[in-house]
Amino acid sequence: MKKYYIHVTILLLFLVACEYVNEEDYFVEISKPVDKEIVLNLADFPNGDTLYIYKRTELDYQLILPEGELLKKRFTLNREELVPLNDYIVLEPSGDIPYRSVLTLEIEIESGSESIAGKLGLENYIGKFDFTVVFIPDATLHLENVTHHRNDNDFFELTWDKPELEQYTVDKYRIIYSHHRNEYVKEITDPDITYFVDSMAVFGTLQYRIETFFKEAIREPWIDMYTTEIVFPESSVQFEYTGVNSGKISWPKNEYQSKYAFAIGYFGEILYEGTDNYFEIEDIVEFLRDLKVVFPFAYGSGWVELYVLPVTTTDTSRDWPIHHDILITPSLITLEENRGAFKLFTDRSREMLFVNNGKEVWVYDSNNLLLLNHVIVNALPDAWNHLAYCSEESALMLFTYEDCIEQVSYDFKNHERIVFETEEKLDYQKAHLGSNDVVYIRPVVDILPEGEPEVEGKLYAFDLISRELINYFTFPNKWNETVVSRDGKYVALFNNNYPVSSVSVYQFSSDEYTLVYYEDIPLNGQINENMCVYFNEKESNQLFITLAPGSYSNETYAVDLENGNRTPMKRISYICSDPYTGYIVTNHGINCVIYDQTFTRELFKQERTYIDNLFHNFIFTSSVYSPTLYYLDLTNYLER
Amino acid sequence: MRKFVILFVSFFGCFYLQAQLTVNYSSGYSTYDTDGMRELLRNIQTSHPISAIGAKNVGNFKASNLIHVIDIGYMFDKHEFGIKAGGYHSTGGKLSVTDYSGAYSNLFIVNGFRAGMYYRGYFYTFRKNVKPLFSFYGEISPGIYLSEFKNERFFIVNDEVLDSAEVESKMNSFSLLAQIGAKFNVTEIFHIHTALGYDIADKTEDENSAFEATYMNWSGIRFSVGVGIAF
- Looking at residue A86, its pLDDT comes to 77
* Average pLDDT of the segment spanning A418-445: 91
DSSP three-state, residue B15:
helix
Sign of the CA dihedral running A2, A6, A11, A16? positive
Whether residue A26 and residue B55 make contact (CB cut-off 8 A), yes or no, is yes
- Chain B interface disruption, residue of A1, A5, A22, most B CBs within 10 A: A22
Contact A22 B52 (CB under 8 A): no
Stretch (H or E) spanning A179: strand A170-179
Q: What is the per-residue pLDDT for A170?
A: 94
Residue in B99, B111, B218 to test binding to A, most A beta-carbons within 10 Å: B99
Over 70: is that where the pLDDT of A242 sits? yes
Chain Cα centroid distance, residue B191: 23
State whether residue B53 is helix, strand or coil: helix
Which of the listed ranges A47-51, A122-126, A521-525, B194-198 does the model predict with the highest average pLDDT? B194-198
Phi/psi region, residue A78 (left: phi>0; alpha: psi -120 to 50; beta: rest), is: left
Cα A374 to Cα A356: distance, rounded to the nearest angstrom: 10
Residues contacting residue A83 through CB under 8 Å, at least 6 positions apart: A75
What residue of A is the nearest CA neighbor of B158?
A117
Measured between CB atoms, which of A14, A24, A116 is closest to B53?
A: A116
How many alpha carbons fall within 13 Å on the CB side of residue A390? 23
Q: Write the single-letter amino acid at B71.
A: D
Alpha-carbon Rg for chain B, nearest whole angstrom, is 23
- How distant is the alpha carbon of residue A467 from its chain centre? 55
Distance from the Cα of A116 to chain B's closest Cα (Å) equals 5
Residue B98 confidence (pLDDT): 94
Reported as a pLDDT band with limits 50, 70 and 90, residue A301 is: low
State in Å, rounded, how far the first CA of chain B is from the last one: 25
Question: Chain A residues within 8 A (CB-CB) of chain B?
Answer: 9-10, 13-14, 16-22, 24-32, 113, 115-120, 122-123
- Of B47, B27, B58, B30, which Cα lies nearest the Cα of B227? B27
Tell me how far apart the alpha carbons of residues A92 and A617 are, in angstroms, rounded to a whole number.
81
Measured CA to CA, the distance from residue A430 to residue A354 in angstroms comes to: 19
Q: Do A310 and A289 form a contact (C-beta atoms < 8 A)?
A: no
Partner A contacted by B163 (CB < 8 A): no
Nearest residue to A524 (alpha-carbon basis) of A499, A545, A550, A551: A499
Tens-place pLDDT, residues A12-47:
554 455 788 888 999 999 888 888 889 988 888 888
- Cα(A252)–Cα(A151) distance, integer angstroms: 19
What integer best gives the mean pLDDT of chain A?
87
Rounded to whole angstroms, the Cα distance separating A487 from B214 reads 151
Q: Which residues pair with A185 in a beta bridge?
A: A176
Q: Write the DSSP string, A4-37.
A: HHHHHHHHHHHHHSPPP------B---PPPPP--
pLDDT at position B1 is 59
Residue type, A452: E
Residues of B within 8 A of A12 (CB-CB) are: none
* Residue B68 forms contact with A (CB below 8 Å): yes
Spatial CA neighbour of A528 closest among A482, A559, A506, A496? A496
| Cα B175-B179-B180 angle, rounded to 5 deg | 165
Distance CA A14, CA A10 (A): 6
Residue of B nearest to A11 (CA): B88
Amino acid at A151: N
Q: State pLDDT tens for residues A243-280.
A: 656 788 999 999 999 999 998 878 888 889 999 999 99
Which residues of chain B make contact with A31, given a CB cutoff of 8 A? 100
Per-position b or e across A432-448, b if 16+ CB within 10 A of its CB:
bbbbbbbbbbbbeeeee
Instruction: Round to the nearest angstrom and report the end-to-end CA distance of chain A.
Output: 164
> How many Å is the Cα radius of gyration of chain A?
50
Nearest by CB to B49, which of A20, A22, A120?
A120
Q: What is the C-alpha to C-alpha distance for residues A158 and A174, in angstroms, rounded to an integer?
A: 13
Q: Which CATH class is domain B20-230?
A: mainly beta
Indicate yes or no: CB of B100 within 8 angstroms of CB of A115.
yes
Bridge pairing between strands A50-53 and A125-135: parallel
Q: What average pLDDT does range A614-640 have in this prediction?
A: 79
Q: Do A20 and B109 touch (CB under 8 A)?
A: yes
pLDDT at A9 over 60: no
C-alpha dihedral sign at B213, B218, B219, B221 = positive
CB within 8 Å of chain A, chain B residues 40-59: 49, 52-56, 58-59
Where do runs of H (alpha helix) occur along A337-494? Answer: none
Contact, A485 vs A434, CB < 8 A? Answer: yes
Longest dimension (CA), chain A: 187
Contact pairs from chain A to chain B, CB under 8 Å: 98
Instruction: Taking the CA atoms of A291, A295, A301 and A304 in sequence, report the sign of the dihedral they define.
Output: positive
Say what the alpha-carbon torsion angle A439, A584, A301, A233 is, to the nearest 10 degrees: -60
Give the containing element (helix H, strand E) for A391: strand A387-391
Closest by CA position to A240, among listed A181, A326, A327:
A327
Q: Quick one: pLDDT at residue B221? A: 93
CB distance from B94 to chain A under 8 Å? yes
| Cα–Cα–Cα angle for B166, B171, B175, rounded to 5 degrees | 140
- pTM greater than 0.90 (yes/no): no
Q: Which of A20, A26, A116 sits opposite B91 (nearest CB)?
A: A20
Percent of chain A scoring above 90 in pLDDT: 45
The band of A7, judged by pLDDT with boundaries at 50, 70 and 90, is: low
Residue A349 has pLDDT above 80, yes or no: yes
Among all residues of chain B, which has the CA nearest to that of A114?
A: B53
List per-block mean pLDDT (blocks of 10 residues) for chain B, which spans 231 residues.
59 57 90 89 89 91 87 89 87 93 92 92 89 91 92 92 91 93 91 94 80 83 92 82
Given a cut of 70, whether residue A639 has pLDDT beyond it is no
- What is the DSSP-derived secondary structure letter of residue A452? P
Residues A389-409: what's their mean pLDDT? Answer: 93
DSSP conformation letters of A350-375: TTEEEEEETTEEEEEETTT--EEEEE
**Interface contact A17-B68, CB threshold 8 A:** yes
Beta strands in A469-512 (DSSP E): 469-475, 481-484, 490-495, 500-508
Task: Name the residue facing B98 among A14, A28, A123 (closest C-beta).
Answer: A28
**For residues A80-96, b (16+ Cβ closer than 10 Å) or e, as one string?**
eebeeeeebbebebeee
Whether the Cβ atoms of residue B223 and residue B195 lie closer than 8 Å to each other: yes
- Are B103 and A26 in contact (CB < 8 Å)? no
Model confidence pLDDT, tens digit, residues A479-524 = 889 999 999 999 999 987 777 788 999 998 777 889 999 998 877 6
| B92 vs A17, A22, A118: nearest CB | A22
CB neighbours of residue A500 within 10 Å: 10
Peptide bond into A33 cis (omega under 30): no
Q: Report the run of H or E that residue B194 belongs to, with start and end.
A: strand B190-201
Most confident of A27-31, A292-296, A332-336: A27-31
A220-247 b/e (C-beta count within 10 Å ≥ 16 → b)? eebebebebebebeeebbbbebeeebeb
Mean pLDDT of A309-317: 87
Probe site for chain B from A9, A19, A26 (most B CB atoms < 10 A): A26
Find, in chain A, the residue whose alpha carbon is nearest to that of B66. Answer: A17
Distances from the Cα of A561 to the Cα of A103, A308, A586, A625, angstroms: 112, 59, 20, 37
How many C-beta atoms lie closer than 10 Å to residue A412's C-beta? 16
Nearest residue in chain A measured CA to CA from B54:
A116
